[in-house]
Amino acid sequence: MFGELIKLRELGRLLKKRRYLEALALARDPAIRDHRKAVVGAEKAREALLSVAEEQRARGEVAEALKIVCAVLRDVEDPTARRLEEELRRAVAEREAPKDTLEDDSEPLVWPPHRDPVESANRGRLAVPEPAGLRPVTFRSADQLPGRGAFARGMPFILRVEEQGDWFVHPGQSVLIGNATGHVADLPVLAAVGSRHARIERIGDGIDARYRVVPIPGRKVTKNRRKIEDLAVLEDGDVIVLGSSLTVVFRRPVAASATAVLELGGDFTVHGCRKVLLFSEAGRTGSVVLGPGPETHVSLPPDGERVEVLRGESGETAGLLLARCPRGVAVADDEERPQVRVQPGVLIRAGMLGFFVDPV
């Protein structure tokens, strides 16, 4: 009861300060979402956000307006917001679409619309569950693909796997975990932790890579129930607790890959994802492995294909985000190849497996 009162007071404070995205996220908290004040607060936040979106559209800031409308639609289905979303999507596509077209204009690409690729910078402040399935829409040419382009090194993204769920992918050698309201953490979580609570660092790459957790001075972090004073080396299966409530399980399921997995406990999420991939961009030695069996980063049913997502190392593919499968992998309905380029919002298929990636 006392915890509910604190959250309801915080909701009122956020609304008063016009921090509507944070208020909307807090109103979804399972502890208060059915409370009358939370329901009313969420409605006020949605109305205010739609007004802000309309003002931004009038100023020509269509991409920013679209981000806000998408946040509202994640909370509730609203006909007015849905119409506005469609209008803004068209405006964004007209402004940002490249001029080139696909070589074969008759072959469609697929882009699932349930998550916009021009996602909000404010999404880093939210912990919002996302739908796991795909709802494809057909586009006939490349200039109809909103957000089409390449993922530069160091850019985080969300890996969405059909019928399996979403994984937040964070590249780089170090990741900062902290409270989402501080707006500084690489992994923002709505938990009772500091805005800068702890770092997880990777030393080296490939088989020899090692991970360690480093608490920010003054912040409580434990590993396997033992308090960490300075830093602690992490092994597969270690349980880290930040503060008193945020539990994180460290996994290193693929010995040949430096990429690791963080599994968040309870109802905590990062950008709507319960699992985080600490992606090593060192080519094959940092691959994200999707497939059947335990020695994978993303576990699939027994009949699933084994696919690697990795950075190209040399030649024409150097630095590009790639998908590789010995049995063949395809972009949407295109022909299968041993390796294809992964681009924002474009469906990748390998056998019965389907996935795509979204920028954050």
Q: Kindly tell me if the per-residue pLDDT of 278 is higher than 60.
A: yes
Q: Kindly tell me if the per-residue pLDDT of 85 is higher than 70.
A: yes
% residues pLDDT > 70 (the chain): 83
In a domain, 138, yes or no: no
Q: What is the pLDDT of residue 143?
A: 38
Confidence of residue 178 (pLDDT cuts 50, 70, 90): very high
The average pLDDT across 24-52 equals 82
Task: Kindly state whether residues 40 and 176 are assigned to the same domain.
Answer: no
**Choice between 285 and 111, residue whose per-residue pLDDT is larger:** 285
Instruction: Tell me if residue 20 falls in helix, strand or coil.
Output: helix
Q: What is the DSSP letter of 284?
A: G
Task: Kindly state whether residues 60 and 203 are assigned to the same domain.
Answer: no
Q: Which of 5-9, 42-46, 297-301 has the highest mean pLDDT?
A: 297-301
In the listed set 96, 119, 141, which residue is the last one of a domain according to the structure?
96
Q: What is the pLDDT of residue 123?
A: 41
Select from 232, 280, 277 the least CA-distant residue to 258.
280
Residue 264 and residue 107: Cα distance in Å, rounded?
A: 40
Reported as half-sphere exposure (CB side, CA atoms, 13 A), residue 69 has a value of 27
In a domain, 89, yes or no: yes
**Choice between 15 and 297, residue whose per-residue pLDDT is larger:** 297
Task: Kindly state whether residues 205 and 354 are assigned to the same domain.
Answer: yes
Q: Which of 37-41, 94-98, 100-104, 346-350 has the highest mean pLDDT?
A: 346-350
Looking at the structure of the chain, the number of domains it has is: 2
In the listed set 96, 122, 148, which residue is the last one of a domain according to the structure?
96
Give CA separation, 319 vs 271, 312, 314, 340, in Å.
25, 5, 8, 13
Q: Is 292 exposed, middle or buried (0-12, 13-18, 19+ CB in 10 A)?
A: middle
What average pLDDT does the chain have?
81
Task: Kindly state whether residues 178 and 285 are assigned to the same domain.
Answer: yes
Give the tens place of pLDDT for each residue, 202-220.
998 878 899 999 999 999 9
- Neighbour count for residue 104 (Cβ, 10 Å): 9
Strands (E), 172-294: 174-179, 187-189, 198-203, 210-215, 221-223, 226-227, 232-234, 239-242, 246-251, 260-264, 275-279, 288-292
**Choice between 147 and 74, residue whose per-residue pLDDT is larger:** 74
Task: Kindly state whether residues 62 and 184 are assigned to the same domain.
Answer: no
Task: Kindly state whether residues 333 and 225 are assigned to the same domain.
Answer: yes
In CATH, what number is assigned to the domain containing residue 327? 2.60.200.20
- Give the pTM: 0.60
Range of the domain at 340: 167-359
Confidence of residue 1 (pLDDT cuts 50, 70, 90): low
In a domain, 261, yes or no: yes
The residue behind tokens 């702890």 is 198
In a domain, 120, yes or no: no
Q: What is the pLDDT of residue 36?
A: 81
Select from 338, 275, 270 the least CA-distant residue to 310.
338
Select from 11, 20, 27, 83 the least CA-distant residue to 49.
20
In a domain, 145, yes or no: no
**Choice between 71 and 224, residue whose per-residue pLDDT is larger:** 224
Confidence of residue 299 (pLDDT cuts 50, 70, 90): very high
In a domain, 41, yes or no: yes
Residue 88 and residue 94: Cα distance in Å, rounded?
A: 10
Task: Kindly state whether residues 299 and 180 are assigned to the same domain.
Answer: yes
Least confident of 59-73, 99-113, 284-298: 99-113
In a domain, 135, yes or no: no
In the listed set 96, 125, 157, which residue is the last one of a domain according to the structure?
96
Give the tens place of pLDDT for each residue, 90-109.
777 776 554 443 333 333 33
Confidence of residue 151 (pLDDT cuts 50, 70, 90): low
Confidence of residue 2 (pLDDT cuts 50, 70, 90): low
Residue 341 and residue 196: Cα distance in Å, rounded?
A: 35
